[in-house]
Amino acid sequence: MARAKAGRKAKGPRLRLYIAGNAPNSVRAIANLKAICDAHFASGHELEIVDLLEHPLRALADGIIVTPTLLKLLPLPVQRVIGNLADTKQVLLALAGK
């Protein structure tokens, strides 16, 4: 999957998900994150998906060493969640900045 943007620009969070191609955890992370965004940020969010197999230098800029990794860029503070994002409660805690 190439660098792609999805979702709606609005008052919700700005997210960037780093994945590694069609690896099982990457596929699960995309599905889990889309479900979380649809359920909890339906009023708006911005999601960018970056495939490190196609854009490896992007990882250096954000200090990504493992995939899948989710970055919450806005609102500040920046938060990271590593893994397939199956634990909705933990993902929401990170997105809330707590």
Residues 29-40 have pLDDT tens digits of 999 999 999 999
The pLDDT of 53-77, averaged and rounded, is 93
Domain boundary assignment for the chain: 4-95
How far is residue 56's CA from residue 77's CA, in Å, rounded to a whole number? 25
Quote the pLDDT of residue 11: 76
CATH of 4-95, one of 3.40.30.10, 3.90.1570.10, 3.50.50.60, 1.10.3720.10: 3.40.30.10
Q: Are 74 and 7 in contact (CB under 8 A)?
A: no
The pLDDT of 77-98, averaged and rounded, is 90
Which residues, in sequence order, are CB contacts of 6 under 8 Å at separation 6+? Answer: 34, 47, 49
The pLDDT of 81-95, averaged and rounded, is 94
The pLDDT of 74-80, averaged and rounded, is 92
Residues 1-31 have pLDDT tens digits of 444 445 444 578 999 999 999 999 999 999 9
Sign for the pseudo-dihedral over CA of 92, 75, 25, 32: positive
- Pick from 77, 91, 79: nearest CA to 28: 91
The pLDDT of 66-75, averaged and rounded, is 95
Report how far apart the first and last C-alpha atoms of the chain are (Å, whole number).
30
